[in-house]
Structure 1
Amino acid sequence: MKGVQFLVAFVFLALASSFATASDPSPLQDFCVAIDEYKSGLNVPRNTSNPVGSTVTPVNVAQIAGLNTLGVSLVRIDYAPYGQNPPHTHPRASEILVVQEGTLYVGFVTSNPENKLFTKVLNKGDVFVFPVGLIHFQFNIGKTNAVAFAGLSSQNPGVITIANAVFGSDPAINPDVLARAFQLGQKVVKSLQAKFWWDNN
């Protein structure tokens, strides 16, 4: 519960900062108009019976219009045992994640040319930061379900799941490109494309 309180405090501090520095009062007016469009139910566990074993429940400008221009959003992430939030990026936001239940192995990779991997095993109440735009992941290494909440520094952070984007694009990327980029045979590439295209569509 302390993790949730921490994130709520983080979001309200960010909101207060936005209000204090805004010369145009419209963000505050927009928030007050939309305050009744709140999001409830983040205490409810989500179904994680999918190929990756996790479900992300977002609370961003698409769910609460009053977040527009405020520069914050929130997600709840549920993980099945050994489930993961696969490698992905947020092109418009840094992320701060707090574990509410379970044990997660988390990490991010720095940009070229170093591509240095930073990882940590997190337990209940632990916090980890993922810098904006970098590929990162979370993996439930426990035998029980895990839950985390994350604050993001944008009302519309975006998400690019690497495997889905590369192998599941529509239309598909030319297999010659992916075969050479990933040093794989064309049969493997086409198999991955068929799988991820089906999953995405």
Structure 2
Amino acid sequence: MTRIACFIVAFLALASSFASAYDPSPLQDFCVAVDDAKSAVFVNGKFCKDPKLVVADDFFKHIEAGNTSNIFGSAVTPVTVNELFGLNTLGISLARLDFAPKGLIPPHTHPRGTEILTVIEGTLYVGFVTSNPANGKNRLFAKVLNKGDVFVFPIGLPHFQFNVGYGNAVAISGISSQNPGVITIANAVFGSNPPISDEVLAKAFQVDKNTIKYLEKQFS
């Protein structure tokens, strides 16, 4: 066997070992292993319907405009595998985003999916922040979008959408997971159950505990 042939065989063997060891992308925050099958719950995806029983409506969903009469002036209507069963195993989902004038979708992340947003109506100021760099300065990538504009939010990075126009705005977001998850930053930090220690938060945000208690009340 020539040296090149030996290299190819070794490379293929190594690639095969990587492929067999790679886990599928998670579709929930955690999955605790159990030895007893009777205690197990199938959550990483869903059980599949008998193909003979599948109908067109399994792949169909009508989306109404969301109610924006809330403190943020926005509404998110998700279409994940939980709302549209035909998405199971396809690795995609979407959401309709509705905004009242000056409506905001606060900074949040999708731990399991990259998001691509298209503006249908109105004008949005959107952006995302990079992960912690070596110099300690996270970069903001932001842009004002108009009807027909598209913007991408990389997987796991904090991002936001804000209606800077004087009328209503609508956008559609496609996400690269059937169950991308959402972590709204302020809710997670100040509204967790049980709450994070005031001492931890005060030191992390470099404010006094009274400020932390005030913020916690807003998200309790």
TM-score range, shorter chain: 0.7 to 0.9
Hey, what does 1:68 align to over in structure 2?
88
- Pair 1:129 & 2:149 matched: no
Hey, what does 1:155 align to over in structure 2?
178
Pick one of 106, 123, 131 that aligns with 1:103. 123
Q: Partner amino acid for 1:46? A: G
Alpha-carbon distance, 1:67 to partner: 1.0
Aligned length: 171
Structure 1 residues 87 and 38: CA distance shift in structure 2, 3 A: same
Distance 1:101 1:124 in 2: 5
Higher percent of residues as helix: 1
Pick one of 104, 116, 134 that aligns with 2:139. 116
Moved over 4 A (4+): 26-30
Distance 1:40 1:69 in 2: 17
TM-score for the superposition, normalised by structure 2:
0.73
Q: Partner amino acid for 2:54? A: V
- Pair 1:178 & 2:201 matched: yes
- Pair 1:164 & 2:184 matched: no
Hey, what does 1:78 align to over in structure 2?
98
Distance 1:35 1:63 in 2: 15
| Unaligned segments of structure 2, at least 5 residues | 1-46
Hey, what does 2:162 align to over in structure 1?
139
Distance 1:125 1:27 in 2: 36
Distance 1:103 1:90 in 2: 23
Hey, what does 1:16 align to over in structure 2?
none
TM-score for the superposition, normalised by structure 1:
0.80
Identity %: 62
Alpha-carbon distance, 1:174 to partner: 0.5
Hey, what does 2:62 align to over in structure 1?
41
Alpha-carbon distance, 1:195 to partner: 1.5
Alpha-carbon distance, 1:93 to partner: 0.3
* Partners of 1:72 and 1:151 within 8 A in 2: yes
* Partners of 1:27 and 1:70 within 8 A in 2: no
Residue aligned with 2:57, SS: coil
* Partners of 2:59 and 2:85 within 8 A in 1: no
Q: Partner amino acid for 1:80? A: A
Residue aligned with 2:113, SS: coil
Alpha-carbon distance, 1:158 to partner: 0.4
Distance 1:34 1:151 in 2: 24
| Unaligned segments of structure 1, at least 5 residues | 1-25
Q: Partner amino acid for 1:116? A: R
Structure 1 residues 142 and 185: CA distance shift in structure 2, 3 A: same
RMSD: 2.0
Q: Partner amino acid for 1:83? A: G
Summarize deviations over 1:27-49 as a string: whole Å, max 9, x none.
Answer: 7976x82642345432x322101
